[in-house]
Amino acid sequence: MPKAYWGEIKDPVHGYVYISEAEKNLIDSYPMQRLRRLRQLAGSEYVYPGANHTRFEHCVGVMYLASKVLENPNISSLLAEDEVETCRIAALLHDAGHGPFSHVFEQLLIKDLEKTHEDITSWIIEKSETGDKLSKMGFKPKEVADLAVGKLRKPGRAFLNQIISSGVDVDKQDFIVRDTYHTGAEYGFIDVYRLIHAMDVLGENLAVELGALSALEAFMIARIESFKSIYFHRVGRAAQIMLATAMEKANSELGLTAFKTPEDYLALDDYTVWAALKKCAASKGIIADLERRRMLKCAYERTFYEKDTMVSNIFGRESYRRQMQTEIAKEAGVSVESVVIDVPTVPSVPYHHAVLMESMEIPVFTRSQNGEKTLQRLSEISKIFETLKGFMNILRVYTDAAGRDEVEKATAKILGKIPSTAKISF
């Protein structure tokens, strides 16, 4: 509960979330309210009809879980009161910079502006009305902006960043349980309270006590299974590719990445962009397909394990991907346009592979009878961790329903016949 209790929000996942007046002021402002019109899992609703939750409730949930970490006696004993409130607010605002359809838009951001949604988040927090609000209420906008994306430079305070952005951050904890709740995919049950209760600070880093190893392993597995079942789902990816393509095609007309001010950017949301794409000649066909669930079809799929990271690097390069698409299209006798190679390690993917690997390096420790804490290497302790490290790359070739068979044959010829074992439909 915040020191200055103002009221509460009922969340279907976490129950009552108690908020302060400052938090209420931020929540009831345009930049936060806009997140109600940004789907958390754009595209996944074509797989899981219940997946209509938004960045708004996720942000409230992240603030809630951050507050649970901040109430853990191991952590709270290290903190001044203003640090607690700053951290809660940074958690609340951590996704303020997301664009329409969340990660789908990020692909354009990176390509056209070399910016991630985190860059935009910091910018929004500092430069939009949010910055003014924060100043007036006595917070430092720059500090909140940095902390919200895990980049606060404050001596001895790395763990504050890690609460919001690290291998076991509350962002991941919230989206795993929330995505499971609203999709109904039954892979994301994790004991967040056990995880959070087992947290402590070693040096200046957030670490997890090994008594909670099962909860930690369950968390890592839930993440992987969520990737396979939700974020990397074949049909969900198809929808995201279609949306991304529509936005790319319409960009010159709609100026989606031509924003100059925070206000310009914040005018973009799922509703306005969907309505615009529907009218724009360049994109209306794709939207018409989505509105009839005429999805791109997967003509080829292969999953690579850790040794094959090279492959994903190759396909991650647009120029090479383009070249392969051309070859396959030629072989199949279809237009290049209609062939899409998808490697969910490129940044268009909701939660990309790079993060997947790095995040595994979670500091863990044992506590002796006399209270002494000893850092351990998770890889020496958990075989499951070792296995999951750098787990999964997926290579897929999508095309439209008409050309599916031809593209399947062409791809098999060019990329090598897919071994039957790899044709797994998760």
Among the listed ranges 9-17, 108-116, 328-336, 354-362, the one in contact with a copy of itself (CB under 8 A) is 9-17
Tell which one of 132, 374, 401, 413 touches a copy of itself (CB under 8 A). Answer: 374
Q: Within positions 194 to 223, which residues make up the interface with a copy of itself, using CB under 8 A?
A: 194, 197, 210-211, 213-215, 217-218, 221
Q: Within positions 170 to 199, which residues make up the interface with a copy of itself, using CB under 8 A?
A: 181-187, 189-191, 193-194, 197
- Smallest CA-to-CA distance from 107 within 251, 311, 306 is with 251
Q: In a 3-state reduction of DSSP, which class is residue 7?
A: strand
For residue 96, the minimal CB distance to a copy of itself (Å) is: 14
> Does position 292 bind a copy of itself by CB under 8 A?
yes
**Which residues are CB-contacts of 62 (< 8 A; sequence separation ≥ 6)?**
91, 92, 94, 95, 164, 170, 171, 174
CA distances from 162 to 91, 171, 201, 243, 337 (A): 11, 10, 10, 32, 42
Radius of gyration of the chain (CA): 22
Binding mask 69-98 for a copy of itself (x = CB under 8 A): ----x-------------------------
Among the listed ranges 7-15, 82-90, 168-176, 329-337, the one in contact with a copy of itself (CB under 8 A) is 7-15
DSSP-derived letter for residue 419 is: P
Kindly determine how many residues on this chain lie close enough to bind a copy of itself according to the rule CB under 8 A.
Answer: 84
Among the listed ranges 48-56, 242-250, 326-334, 337-345, the one in contact with a copy of itself (CB under 8 A) is 48-56
Segments in 227-307 forming alpha helices (H) = 234-254, 262-266, 270-279, 284-290
> Does position 376 bind a copy of itself by CB under 8 A?
yes
**Which residues are CB-contacts of 324 (< 8 A; sequence separation ≥ 6)?**
315, 341, 414, 415
**Which residues are CB-contacts of 57 (< 8 A; sequence separation ≥ 6)?**
11, 13, 40, 178
Q: Within positions 258 to 277, which residues make up the interface with a copy of itself, using CB under 8 A?
A: 270-272, 274-276
> Does position 5 bind a copy of itself by CB under 8 A?
yes
For residue 421, the minimal CB distance to a copy of itself (Å) is: 5
Q: Report the C-alpha gap between 338 and 404 in whole angstroms.
A: 10
